[in-house]
Chains A and B, each alone.
Chain A
Amino acid sequence: MDKLLLITLLVPLVGAGLLSLGALSGRQAVRRIALTTTLITLGLTLVLAANFPHDGELGEAGSFASSSFTWLGGDSGLDVRMSVGLDGLSLWLFVLSALLMVTALLASWEAIRSREASFYSLLLLLECGCLGVFAARDLVLFYVFFEFTLIPLFFLIGIWGSENRRYAAIKFFLYTLAGSLLTFLGLITIVVWHYLQRGRLTFSIPELTEAISSGALALPFGLQLAIFLALFAGFAIKVPLFPFHTWLPLAHVQAPTAGSVFLAGILLKMGTYGFLRFSVPLLPEATAACVPWILWLAVIGIVYGALVALAQQDMKKLIAYSSVSHLGYCMLGMFALNPLGVTGSVLQMINHGISTGALFALIGMLYERYHTRDIKQLGGLARRLPIFSFFFVLFALSSIGLPGLNGFTGEIMILLGMFQRAGGGTGPMVPSYLVITALAVSGVVLGAWYMLWLVQRLLFGAVRTPDAMSAEKVNEIKDLQTREIAALAPLAVLVIAIGVWPSPLIDRVKPTLDNLTSSAESRLGPPEILVRETHHPGEELVTRADQP
């Protein structure tokens, strides 16, 4: 089992290498090799997930299927390790990466008609990078994978994207690179500090986390704040947190379908993953101090993203802005910093990956048929494309958060967590947090609005087809093929399964999350302490009014 994780990481690389050979034998071979590789990878990740402890307790090691060997060692004790392992936080994101890659690949089966070998090998490299980010247990290794994902995506957007692809590719790359370089400085600072205080040079993430939570390593508050801001630069751009989201709609819209699916499904999660893996456990005091700021940014993102999504004419852009809104929920739950909120946040990461990934794939399939993403040009598709419409409605409802589907489980936990943070149920309330909670709930309503409106305009009403298409061409358009259904069906099953019975997911996640957030949560304290410390006259009125 220990070697299995390493093998899983290597499979896509081997596949990418094989593709350069397969290129000689034509298009069909290339696609088959790529598909086989992703299926093997998915199978391996599923084996790993099945063997993961069911209660999520990982014992001493703190990670599952871990293996580790020196990558870059030195006389002075420098020891950068190839160290991989899974824990509750990374497990499902790891599986989701492998799953979405299959969807992405099937969705681009027919759409990509030039330089297929390069396209699919870049996709496989991207998969390797994403799997690596979630599996890495070493700071430098994490960063290497984190940055490496930019290279394949840069080429995927720049070569196979739509009209404005060149600008989008460069903007995406530079924007995220600029932030993540500062993140890198922050991460190294933590390592250096650990070295200065304890005389041991380690890049191991579990060891650093352990040192902080056990109190063996104490970072002064000023330093924590500086490092927090450095990490924030990279992760907030990746999430993207308002107002650092401007690269996202551009990159999403210009990327080819596979790129959009993966960008929305996995790459954005690297930001939230980074916050939860590094910022919260390693910098507990700075995290506690920054909670109000980040909550406000998150809720602004929720409402702003939803409002902008309402105004879109381009389907892809609409979904892209809805991502800004949904990732706002992730951040909100995470920085509510209580078990309910954080667990909800992780669920939301997975759910958003499934539903938004699927929606992007669906839009890609629609684009292959009608060559437009303009909502105005289309209408009444339910009559013409019933299977397509079924999937579209299902994933749209999941994205809205309809009870019984997966979106609901995450969102309700986040909102409840936030309500708890605001003091609900435990006594005195914090007015500003209540406002945030209320605004977040309004975001759900807005979400239903833009999504249902999209469904209505696209699927129902009078049949409309793009002006540019002739009648015969329109008549030739067929509903989803088996391949496309196969791409979407696993995601659809997950949407319902997680909606009905999320506890297998949550059980495996929870112990890890409690470990990661406990020290930051204890720094924040229960809400009433917060009220006593800040002591605003207005807040006292509220507390008095609450007590009869």
Chain B
Amino acid sequence: MPISLETFALLLPEGIVIVGGICLLIGGAFFGPRRGWVILALTFLILAAWCFARSLSGGPTTSEMPREFAEGPLQFDSITIFFRGLSLVIGGLLVMAMGGQTAARVATEQVGLLLLSIAGLMLAAGAGDFILLFIGLELVTFPTYVIVLLGNRGRPSREAAVKYFYLSIFASALFLFGVAHLYGATGTLSLRPGMELANASGATSLAALEMLALSLILAGVAFKLAAAPFHFYAPDVYQDASNGAAGLLAVIPKIIGIIVVVRILGMAISLPGMAEGAWQWIIILSMVSMTLGNVCALWQENVRRLMAYSSIAHAGYMLMGVAAALASNGSADGMAVDGIGATLFYLAVYSAATLGIFAVLTHLGSGNQDVDKVSQLRGLGRTHPISMLILIVCLFSLAGIPPLAGFWGKFGLFASSLGMLGEGESLFHSAASRWFVALAVVAAINAAIAAAYYLRIIALICFYPPTASLQGKGGIFPLLSGAACAALVLVSGILPGPLFHRSQQAGGSAWERGEITPSEREDIRQVGSEDVQKKSHG
């Protein structure tokens, strides 16, 4: 692919964010922490968002580009647009939530690194091959190690960083190992569906290798998502990290995990043998994650540990949509609600609600004294009414109670799972309908279990007189961030249309990237097998 000025113009939003990150890292070393840095970081993000918005209205899209580019490592479709937008919004909220701690010596560095992470998310969202995807993944992950390490908790922060570092490196290695196998099996690193099959002669004979490769990749992704059985690090690391860093860990790795899933899915589905069994494994992962996360969260006294288990459970929910999408095998028939689209919506809503909670916790703490125990929130309603409102909105949204956005997330996931029923005499007429009915029922029961611990917090906040007064010295920025999160959750609960529509669009294009439709993919598949036959005859 020829690299020209236009290529860079396409990456302008990412570029701005990276430049901003570097400016903050350098400037922070000379001028120390000030409130101005947060505003500068926000300015860079807004500038990037402006460029992004301009590219939406008038910029080039993949389909209009020369063919060499359309097959290159970058792709611009509705997935890219969705995740770029999500990363910028969540990034801005995170900057406000984390950067408010002007007292912390290294707050500026944290924010600078955070910007690099956000740029990584945006890069990965536009990845058209495994190389760029992996670069994006690592650009996201590496700054988070440092951010966790720079937390304001001293020794525990270091412990959290080391734990997270080793396990995360291990997961990245698994992912890379899987990619290597996949390259060996298919002969391409491209993520575009259909294409690699046309290139890869004799792909069928390597089905076992492809399965192994995808399992390894899935393991790496499950680690990022904190889905069972790769969740063990999450409670320990969250507990030891500061509230801001824990908020970052609860959101950013989830987003990058889902980006990887969505990017790989279109390619993976066209591998022979993929459609038959893979979704059952995802269902099992999903059911185990949500049950384990929710049940363990019931007994937690540490608020970050509780949120860690809750994030494990939500990872399970997100996998529901992935399973439905895999089982539907890329066909739109019978899919009232696209599974991937439902997952994307859920991800966005989960991110906003979780971030809102951590932002408020940051606000309620002070520079060197974090809110640790759930019981510290007792009677918060009397002393901090705004924080109370934010927490109530975010917690009810996580519990999936209408009219908040979390309800529409659950609605989408339930609808996409039950969309796999298929016609038959009973609910149990086919394997798919048995599995998906079981999944939906488990998810519904889990939603009730989850409501138990969210309600416990709400009851603690609203129904009790305050005992120990929280300081609330975390600054105004975290509170603003929390309020923005709560507003997002509330507004997209009452008017879910725009976000739902965009996520469904993005979900749909996970299958039909570029000009290739499912029927065309079928053609390619046939052509590929004919090639194989010709070669074997010749």
A residues whose Cβ falls under 8 Å from a Cβ of B = 71-78, 140, 143-145, 147-148, 150-151, 154-155, 158-159, 165-166, 169-170, 173-174, 177-178, 181-182, 184-185, 188-189, 191-193, 195-197, 201, 220, 222-223, 226
Among A75, A159, A165, A226, point to the contact of B505 (Cβ < 8 A).
A75
Task: Digitize B455-469: 1 where CB-to-A-CB distance is under 8 Å, 0 elsewhere.
Answer: 110110011100000
Besides the contacts A77-B336, A148-B401, A166-B464, what 20 more A-B pairs have beta carbons closer than 8 Å?
Answer: A76-B337, A144-B403, A147-B407, A150-B401, A166-B459, A169-B459, A170-B455, A174-B448, A174-B451, A177-B448, A178-B448, A181-B445, A182-B444, A184-B414, A185-B418, A188-B414, A192-B415, A197-B423, A220-B424, A222-B426
Residue of B422, B444, B445 most packed against chain A (CB within 10 A):
B444
Check A222–B334 contact: CB distance below 8 A. no
Q: How far is the CA of A19 from the CA of B415 in the complex (A)?
A: 37
Chain A residues lying within 8 Å of B402, measured Cβ to Cβ, are: 143-145, 147-148
Among B396, B423, B451, B462, point to the contact of A158 (Cβ < 8 A).
B462
Q: Which residues of chain B from 489 to 513 have any CB-CB distance to chain A below 8 Å in the complex?
A: 496-497, 500-501, 504-505, 508
Chain B residues lying within 8 Å of A148, measured Cβ to Cβ, are: 401-403
Among A165, A166, A178, A193, point to the contact of B445 (Cβ < 8 A).
A178
Q: How far is the CA of A165 from the CA of B462 in the complex (A)?
A: 12
Check B455–A173 contact: CB distance below 8 A. yes
Check A193–B421 contact: CB distance below 8 A. yes
Given contacts A184-B414, A197-B423, A222-B427, contact A74 B504 (CB under 8 A): yes
Check B459–A158 contact: CB distance below 8 A. yes
- Shortest CB-to-CB span from A310 to chain B, Å, is 33
Q: How far is the CA of A199 from the CA of B440 in the complex (A)?
A: 22
Question: Is B1 an interface position by the 8 A CB rule?
Answer: no
Q: Which residues of chain B from 236 to 288 have any CB-CB distance to chain A below 8 Å in the complex?
A: none
Question: Is B332 an interface position by the 8 A CB rule?
Answer: yes
Given contacts A76-B332, A76-B337, contact A188 B418 (CB under 8 A): yes
Chain A residues lying within 8 Å of B500, measured Cβ to Cβ, are: 72, 74
Chain A residues lying within 8 Å of B504, measured Cβ to Cβ, are: 74-76, 78
Chain A residues lying within 8 Å of B332, measured Cβ to Cβ, are: 76
Check A78–B336 contact: CB distance below 8 A. yes
Closest to B446 in A: A181
Check A185–B444 contact: CB distance below 8 A. yes
Check A223–B336 contact: CB distance below 8 A. no
Q: How far is the CA of A56 from the CA of B3 in the complex (A)?
A: 73
Among A145, A159, A220, point to the contact of B462 (Cβ < 8 A).
A159
Among B334, B452, B463, point to the contact of A166 (Cβ < 8 A).
B463
Check A174–B455 contact: CB distance below 8 A. yes
Chain B residues lying within 8 Å of A144, measured Cβ to Cβ, are: 402-403, 407
Chain A residues lying within 8 Å of B463, measured Cβ to Cβ, are: 158-159, 165-166, 169
A-B contact pairs, 20 of them (CB 8 A): A72-B496, A144-B403, A148-B401, A151-B401, A159-B462, A166-B464, A170-B455, A170-B456, A174-B451, A178-B445, A185-B444, A188-B414, A188-B418, A189-B421, A191-B336, A196-B423, A220-B424, A220-B425, A220-B426, A226-B427
Chain A residues lying within 8 Å of B334, measured Cβ to Cβ, are: 195-196
Question: Is B335 an interface position by the 8 A CB rule?
Answer: yes
Chain A residues lying within 8 Å of B401, measured Cβ to Cβ, are: 147-148, 150-151, 177
B residues whose Cβ falls under 8 Å from a Cβ of A = 332, 334-338, 396, 401-403, 407-408, 411, 414-415, 418-419, 421-428, 440-441, 444-445, 447-448, 451-452, 455-456, 458-459, 462-464, 496-497, 500-501, 504-505, 508
Q: How far is the CA of A138 from the CA of B422 in the complex (A)?
A: 23
Chain B residues lying within 8 Å of A165, measured Cβ to Cβ, are: 463
Among B427, B496, B501, point to the contact of A223 (Cβ < 8 A).
B427
- Specify the main secondary structure of chain A where it touches its partner: helix
Check A173–B497 contact: CB distance below 8 A. no
User: How many CB-defined contacts (below 8 Å) exist between A and B?
Assistant: 121
Q: How far is the CA of A458 from the CA of B456 in the complex (A)?
A: 39
- Shortest CB-to-CB span from A93 to chain B, Å, is 20
Chain B residues lying within 8 Å of A74, measured Cβ to Cβ, are: 337, 500-501, 504
Given contacts A174-B451, A184-B414, contact A192 B419 (CB under 8 A): yes
Q: How far is the CA of A370 from the CA of B516 in the complex (A)?
A: 77
Closest to B440 in A: A185
Check A75–B419 contact: CB distance below 8 A. no
Given contacts A147-B401, A166-B463, A223-B427, contact A196 B422 (CB under 8 A): yes
- Shortest CB-to-CB span from A528 to chain B, Å, is 30
Chain B residues lying within 8 Å of A191, measured Cβ to Cβ, are: 336, 415
Chain A residues lying within 8 Å of B425, measured Cβ to Cβ, are: 220, 222-223
- Shortest CB-to-CB span from A118 to chain B, Å, is 9
Among A71, A181, A201, point to the contact of B447 (Cβ < 8 A).
A181
Chain B residues lying within 8 Å of A76, measured Cβ to Cβ, are: 332, 335-338, 504
- Shortest CB-to-CB span from B452 to chain A, Å, is 6
Closest 8 CB pairs of A and B: A222-B426, A178-B448, A144-B402, A181-B444, A158-B463, A220-B425, A166-B463, A192-B418
- Shortest CB-to-CB span from B464 to chain A, Å, is 8
- Shortest CB-to-CB span from A148 to chain B, Å, is 5
Q: How far is the CA of A191 from the CA of B414 in the complex (A)?
A: 12
Q: How far is the CA of A158 from the CA of B381 in the complex (A)?
A: 13
Closest to A157 in B: B463
Q: How far is the CA of A144 from the CA of B407 in the complex (A)?
A: 8
Chain A residues lying within 8 Å of B448, measured Cβ to Cβ, are: 174, 177-178, 181
- Shortest CB-to-CB span from A244 to chain B, Å, is 14
Chain B residues lying within 8 Å of A226, measured Cβ to Cβ, are: 426-427
- Shortest CB-to-CB span from A183 to chain B, Å, is 9
Chain B residues lying within 8 Å of A197, measured Cβ to Cβ, are: 423
Chain B residues lying within 8 Å of A185, measured Cβ to Cβ, are: 414, 418, 440-441, 444
Residue of A145, A166, A192, A223 most packed against chain B (CB within 10 A):
A192
Q: How far is the CA of A148 from the CA of B440 in the complex (A)?
A: 21
Chain B residues lying within 8 Å of A151, measured Cβ to Cβ, are: 396, 401
Check A184–B444 contact: CB distance below 8 A. yes
Chain A residues lying within 8 Å of B464, measured Cβ to Cβ, are: 166
- Shortest CB-to-CB span from B224 to chain A, Å, is 28
Q: How far is the CA of A367 from the CA of B71 in the complex (A)?
A: 77
Given contacts A150-B401, A159-B462, contact A173 B418 (CB under 8 A): no
Chain A residues lying within 8 Å of B447, measured Cβ to Cβ, are: 177, 181
- Shortest CB-to-CB span from A251 to chain B, Å, is 14
Chain B residues lying within 8 Å of A77, measured Cβ to Cβ, are: 336
Q: How far is the CA of A184 from the CA of B447 in the complex (A)?
A: 12
Q: How far is the CA of A158 from the CA of B496 in the complex (A)?
A: 30
Chain B residues lying within 8 Å of A178, measured Cβ to Cβ, are: 445, 448
Chain A residues lying within 8 Å of B414, measured Cβ to Cβ, are: 184-185, 188
Q: How far is the CA of A148 from the CA of B402 in the complex (A)?
A: 6
- Shortest CB-to-CB span from A399 to chain B, Å, is 32
Given contacts A72-B496, A76-B337, A158-B459, contact A174 B452 (CB under 8 A): yes
